[in-house]
C-alpha cells in the first residue's frame, strides 16, 4: 500500500501542473508506477456530448486518445460512469458490458479496475487501471484508486468547467489525415506503421582505432551470425514465393559468407580499426570493383554488397536497438519497401504496404498483389518518424492511406472489409458455373499473372486460362537476363499447371515504368521510348531465347498462345514472325516437335487501332490493353499521381475506341479479349459485354465478382447501354447510367469496386 506521503505528493504535483495535459500525464504515470499496472487511463466527461472520452493513457495505443468514446452505460467504463460505482473485474473480455476497441490494442489485457471520479455528486470521469494477467485487484488497490480519484476530482472538475477538456479534445481530435497515392494492390488493410529499411549510412562512420581488436572481432562475428539468421528467416517467411524471389536470398547469403570479404574485414580489425570502420572500407572497395564492371549483372552485385554491409553496420552500431516487433498487424512504410523488408514480417501480420516512391507495376506492387496484401505506391514525402507506431488504414481500392484514423472511420473500414470478404465467400459457389449472360452469351474468364505464386489463386477461383502472362515479371525478379533454360522451366510450369486451359504469354514488355534492375535505360520519355517489342526486336539474341523457351515449354502441351506488346506497325509483327520461323526451324532440327502457337497482339498503342484491317490474315487474336491504351489516348501518365484524376477509364473517347477496336477485330476475323484493369471494373464489363468482347482477363481476386456480373445481365440489355454510352459526352454521365444498370440488376454490392467502399467509409469521418 503506498504511503500517505506518496499520496499527498501525487496530489501536490498534480495541482502544480501547468496544463490539463500535463496533469493527466502526471496522474497516469504516478498511478501506474505506484500500482505497478500495465495500463492506466483517464476518461473525462465530454459534457457537450454526454459521454466519456479517453483523454490520456499509458499502456493503450495513444492514437486512440480523443477517439474512444463511451456513452454512459456503454462498455465497462460507461457502466462505471452510469452506476457511479467501482468495478473490479478479473477477466474484462468476459464481462457482459465489455466493449472491444481494436484501436486501443487491449486484446491481451484482462484485469480491470475502474473508479468513478465524482465531484459534488457530479460525474467528472472514470479512472481505470488494467493488467495483462487474469486477476482480481485487491482491497488495497481499490482503496488507493478510490482515494486518488476523490482527491483529484476537484482539479479535474475545474478543468472541465473552464473548457480545458474541450480545448484539449480539439487539439487531439484527429482530422482524418490521409495521403493519396497509386493503387499498388487492392484491398483494405488496417494496422500500425513500421518503417521499412534504416536511415543509417556509412557516411556516419568515423575511422577510429580500437583499443581491443579481440572484442571488435567478436562483435563483427556476432553481427555476421545475426545477419545470416535474418536471411534464413526472411527466406522462410517467403516460402511459397517463386524460386526467383528465393534466389535473392541465396545471392545475399553467398555475399555474406564470401571468404574474401570476411578476411579483408578481419585483417583490418586485427590491424587496429574499429569494426564499423573496417567494414566501411572493405565494403566500399568490394562494391566499387563490381560497380566498375562492364557487365550489368556484376554491376548490380555492387548494390547487394552495400546492402549487406548496411545490415552488418546496423548491428555493429546499434547492437541494442530494439528489434522491430511485428506483434500486431503491420503496415510497412518506406521510400521503397523491398522484397527483404516484406519477408521480415511474420506470415499473417503484414496488413499493408505504403511506398513513397514506386509505381503500380513496381516489384513491390507486383509482389503485394500476388500475396494479397493491399499496397499504395507513390504517396510522396511523409513525416515517417512521426508516424512510426501510429495506426493506419490502407484503402487499396482508392490508393489512399489514412493515418491515425478516427474510431468511426476505422470501424467503418473494419465493417466494410468484413463485408467484402463475406461477399467474396458467397460467390465461391459460382466457381464451376459458366460465365454466361442471362440470354446465353458465353464469355471466358481468364486470369492475369506473372508470378508462379499467382497460379493457384487463379485456378481456385475458376480461371479458364491465362489471358495475360507478364513474362517481364520473372525477368524483373531476377538478377540478370534469365537464360533460355531458366525461362523454359518457369514457362513449362505455368503451361503445365493450367493445361489444358490456354495460357497467353506476352513477350517481354520492359521499359516504361518496368525497368530491369540489371539493364538501366536512361530516357526522357520512357513511356514513348524503348518499350516492349521495340526493345526485343532490337535484341534478337534475347528475343530468340525467349521465343525458344516458350516453344520448348509448349512441346506436347499445346496450350500456349503468344502475344506481342506495344505493337504500333505491321512491320513489327512481320519481324516477329521471321524470328518465330527461325526458332521453330532450329528447334525442329534439334529433334523437338514444335507446333506453331496462335499469335496475337496487344492493342494498346492507339495507332494499332487503325491497322486492324492488315492484322486479320497475320494474326489469330487481339487483346485490348486498356491501361496503356487509356494513357496514350488521353496523354495521361498512368502512374503519375498529379494527373491521376485525368486517367478516366471510361472517358467517352476510350469507350468509342473500344467499340471501334471490337468492331474492326471481328470484321477481320480476330478474336477479342481485354486484359487491362478495366476487365475488373463491373460497370465497364456491362459495356464490354454489349460490344461483344468474349474474353476477360483480370487479377484472380476479381474473377468471381465479374462472373457474377456477367451472369446477372443480358447481352441485349448491354448492347442498349453501349448505344447510349456512344452518345454521351462525359465519363460521369456514362458511369451514372452504368451504375443504375448495376443497381437494377441487383448488383449494388459491385458498386464497391468502383470506389463506393471508400466513399461510404469516408462519410464516416
- Write down the residue that cell numbers 521510348 correspond to: 529
Which CB, 349 or 641, lies closer to ligand PEP? 641
Which CB, 37 or 477, lies closer to ligand PEP? 477
> Are 555 and 593 spatial neighbours (Cβ–Cβ below 8 Å)?
yes
Binding-site size for ligand PEP (CB under 6 A) equals 10
Verify binding: residue 467, ligand PEP, rule CB under 6 A: no
Tell me, yes or no, if 355 is annotated catalytic. Answer: no
SS3 assignment, position 174: coil
Query: For ligand PEP, which stretch binds (CB under 6 A), given 171-179, 285-293, 480-488, 625-633?
Result: 625-633
Give the contact letters, 493-532, x = binds to ligand PEP (CB under 6 A), - = no: ----------------x-----------------------
Q: In this chain, which of 405, 676, 682, 690 binds ligand PEP, going by CB under 6 A? A: 676
Binding site partner of 470, from Mg ion, ligand PEP, none, Cβ cut-off 5-8 A by kind: ligand PEP
As a whole number of angstroms, the distance between CA 635 and CA 557 comes to 41
Which CB, 486 or 509, lies closer to ligand PEP? 509
Grid cell of 320 as nine digits? 541494442
DSSP label of 273: B
| Least distance from ligand PEP to the Cβ atom of residue 470, Å | 5
Which CB, 341 or 628, lies closer to ligand PEP? 628
Which CB, 159 or 678, lies closer to Mg ion? 678
Give the contact letters, 550-589, x = binds to Mg ion (CB under 5 A), - = no: ----------------------------------------
Which CB, 679 or 689, lies closer to ligand PEP? 679
Q: In this chain, which of 604, 637, 677, 762 binds Mg ion, going by CB under 5 A? A: 604
> Are 412 and 690 spatial neighbours (Cβ–Cβ below 8 Å)?
no
* Packed helices 164-172 and 20-35: angle between N→C axes, nearest 10 degrees: 80
As a whole number of angstroms, the distance between CA 377 and CA 641 comes to 9
Verify binding: residue 216, Mg ion, rule CB under 5 A: no
> Are 61 and 41 spatial neighbours (Cβ–Cβ below 8 Å)?
no
Among 363, 336, 255, 233, CA closest to 303: 255
SS3 assignment, position 449: strand
Tallying the residues shown for the chain, one arrives at: 765
Give the contact letters, 106-145, x = binds to Mg ion (CB under 5 A), - = no: ----------------------------------------
| β 444-449/695-698 pair status | parallel
Verify binding: residue 637, ligand PEP, rule CB under 6 A: no
Verify binding: residue 626, ligand PEP, rule CB under 6 A: yes
Task: Beginning with the edge strand found earlier in the chain, give each strand of the sheet holding 39-46 in spatial order.
Answer: 69-71, 51-58, 39-46, 122-131, 111-119, 87-89
Grid cell of 88 as nine digits? 473490479
Which CB, 39 or 615, lies closer to Mg ion? 615
Q: Name the residue whose CB lies closest to Mg ion.
A: 628
Verify binding: residue 114, ligand PEP, rule CB under 6 A: no
Verify binding: residue 183, ligand PEP, rule CB under 6 A: no
| β 560-564/503-506 pair status | parallel
Grid cell of 427 as nine digits? 460467390
Verify binding: residue 648, ligand PEP, rule CB under 6 A: no
Distance of CA 182 to the CA centre of its chain: 11
Catalytically annotated residue among 40, 675, 708, 750: 675
Among 467, 398, 406, 414, CA closest to 179: 398
Catalytically annotated residue among 56, 67, 286, 363: 363
Tell me, yes or no, if 363 is annotated catalytic. Answer: yes
Distance of CA 234 to the CA centre of its chain: 18
User: Contact positions toward Mg ion, by CB under 5 A?
Assistant: 604, 625, 628
User: Contact positions toward ligand PEP, by CB under 6 A?
Assistant: 468, 470, 509, 604, 625-628, 675-676
The residues that are catalytic are 363, 675
Amino acid at each position: 500500500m503506498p504511503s500517505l506521503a506518496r499520496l499527498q505528493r501525487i496530489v501536490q504535483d498534480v495541482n502544480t501542473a501547468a496544463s490539463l495535459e500535463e496533469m493527466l500525464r502526471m496522474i497516469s504515470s504516478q498511478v501506474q508506477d505506484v500500482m505497478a499496472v500495465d495500463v492506466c487511463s483517464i476518461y473525462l466527461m465530454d459534457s457537450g456530448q454526454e459521454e466519456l472520452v479517453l483523454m490520456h493513457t499509458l499502456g493503450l495505443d495513444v492514437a486512440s486518445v480523443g477517439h474512444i468514446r463511451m456513452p454512459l452505460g456503454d462498455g465497462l467504463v460507461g457502466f462505471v460512469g452510469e452506476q457511479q460505482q467501482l468495478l473490479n473485474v478479473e477477466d474484462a473480455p468476459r464481462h457482459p458490458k465489455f466493449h472491444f476497441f481494436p484501436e486501443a490494442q487491449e486484446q491481451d489485457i484482462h484485469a480491470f479496475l475502474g473508479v468513478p471520479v465524482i465531484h459534488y455528486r457530479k460525474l467528472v470521469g472514470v479512472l481505470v487501471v488494467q493488467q495483462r494477467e487474469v486477476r482480481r485487484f485487491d482491497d488495497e488497490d481499490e482503496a488507493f484508486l478510490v482515494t486518488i480519484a476523490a482527491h483529484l476530482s476537484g482539479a479535474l472538475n475545474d478543468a472541465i468547467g473552464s473548457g480545458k477538456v474541450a480545448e484539449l479534445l480539439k487539439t487531439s481530435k484527429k482530422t482524418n489525415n490521409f495521403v493519396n497515392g497509386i493503387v499498388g494492390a487492392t484491398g483494405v488493410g488496417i494496422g500500425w506503421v513500421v518503417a521499412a529499411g534504416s536511415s543509417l549510412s556509412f557516411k556516419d562512420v568515423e575511422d577510429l582505432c580500437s583499443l581491443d581488436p579481440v572484442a571488435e572481432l567478436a562483435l563483427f562475428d556476432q553481427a555476421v551470425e545475426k545477419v545470416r539468421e535474418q536471411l534464413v528467416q526472411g527466406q522462410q517467411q517467403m516460402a511459397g514465393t517463386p524460386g526467383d524471389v528465393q534466389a535473392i536470398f541465396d545471392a545475399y547469403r553467398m555475399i555474406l559468407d564470401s571468404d574474401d570479404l570476411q578476411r579483408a574485414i578481419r585483417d583490418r580489425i586485427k590491424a587496429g580499426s574499429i569494426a564499423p570502420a573496417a567494414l566501411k572500407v572493405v565494403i566500399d572497395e568490394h562494391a566499387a570493383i563490381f560497380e566498375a564492371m562492364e557487365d550489368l549483372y556484376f554491376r548490380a552485385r555492387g548494390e547487394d554488397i552495400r546492402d549487406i554491409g548496411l545490415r552488418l553496420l546496423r548491428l555493429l552500431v546499434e547492437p541494442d536497438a530494439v528489434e522491430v516487433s511485428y506483434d500486431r498487424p503491420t503496415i510497412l512504410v518506406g521510400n521503397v519497401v523491398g522484397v527483404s523488408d516484406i519477408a521480415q514480417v511474420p506470415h499473417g501480420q503484414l496488413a499493408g504496404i505504403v511506398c513513397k516512391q514506386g509505381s503500380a507495376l513496381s516489384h513491390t506492387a507486383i509482389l503485394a498483389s500476388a500475396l494479397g496484401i493491399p499496397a499504395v505506391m507513390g504517396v510522396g514525402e511523409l513525416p515517417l518518424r512521426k508516424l512510426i507506431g501510429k495506426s493506419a488504414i490502407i484503402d487499396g481500392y482508392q490508393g489512399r492511406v489514412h493515418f491515425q484514423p478516427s474510431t468511426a472511420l476505422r470501424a467503418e473500414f473494419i465493417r466494410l472489409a468484413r463485408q467484402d470478404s463475406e461477399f467474396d465467400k458467397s460467390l465461391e459457389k459460382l466457381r464451376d458455373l459458366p460465365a454466361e449472360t442471362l440470354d446465353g452469351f458465353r464469355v471466358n474468364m481468364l486470369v492475369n499473372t506473372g508470378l508462379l505464386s499467382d497460379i493457384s489463386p487463379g485456378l481456385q477461383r475458376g480461371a479458364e486460362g491465362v489471358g495475360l502472362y507478364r513474362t517481364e515479371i520473372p525477368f524483373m525478379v531476377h538478377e540478370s537476363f534469365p537464360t533460355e533454360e531458366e525461362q523454359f522451366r518457369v514457362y513449362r510450369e505455368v503451361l503445365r499447371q493450367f493445361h489444358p486451359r490456354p495460357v497467353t504469354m506476352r513477350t517481354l514488355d520492359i521499359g516504361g515504368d518496368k525497368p530491369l534492375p540489371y539493364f538501366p535505360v536512361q530516357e526522357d520519355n520512357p513511356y514513348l521510348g524503348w518499350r516492349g517489342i521495340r526493345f526485343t526486336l532490337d535484341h534478337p539474341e534475347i528475343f530468340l531465347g525467349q521465343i525458344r523457351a516458350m516453344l520448348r515449354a509448349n512441346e506436347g502441351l499445346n496450350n500456349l498462345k503468344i502475344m506481342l506488346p506495344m505493337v504500333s506497325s505491321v512491320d513489327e509483327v512481320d519481324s516477329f514472325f521471321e524470328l518465330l520461323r527461325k526458332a521453330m526451324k532450329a528447334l525442329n532440327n534439334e529433334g523437338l516437335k514444335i507446333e506453331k502457337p496462335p499469335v496475337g497482339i496487344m492493342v494498346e498503342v492507339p495507332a494499332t487501332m487503325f491497322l486492324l484491317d492488315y492484322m486479320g490474315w497475320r494474326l489469330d487474336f487481339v487483346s485490348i490493353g486498356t491501361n496503356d491504351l487509356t494513357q496514350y489516348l488521353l496523354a495521361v501518365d498512368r502512374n503519375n499521381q498529379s494527373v491521376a484524376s485525368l486517367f478516366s477509364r471510361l472517358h467517352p473517347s476510350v469507350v468509342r475506341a473500344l467499340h471501334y477496336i471490337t468492331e474492326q477485330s471481328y470484321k477481320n476475323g480476330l478474336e477479342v479479349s481485354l486484359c487491362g484493369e478495366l476487365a475488373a471494373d463491373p460497370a465497364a464489363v456491362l459495356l464490354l459485354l454489349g460490344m461483344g468482347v468474349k474474353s476477360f482477363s483480370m487479377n484472380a481476386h476479381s474473377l468471381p465478382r465479374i462472373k457474377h456480373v456477367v451472369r446477372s445481365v443480358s447481352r441485349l440489355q448491354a448492347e442498349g447501354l453501349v448505344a447510349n454510352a456512344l452518345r454521351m459526352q462525359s465519363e460521369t454521365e456514362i458511369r451514372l447510367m452504368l451504375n443504375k444498370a448495376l443497381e437494377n440488376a441487383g448488383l449494388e454490392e459491385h458498386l464497391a469496386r468502383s470506389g463506393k467502399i471508400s466513399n461510404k467509409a469516408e462519410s464516416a469521418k
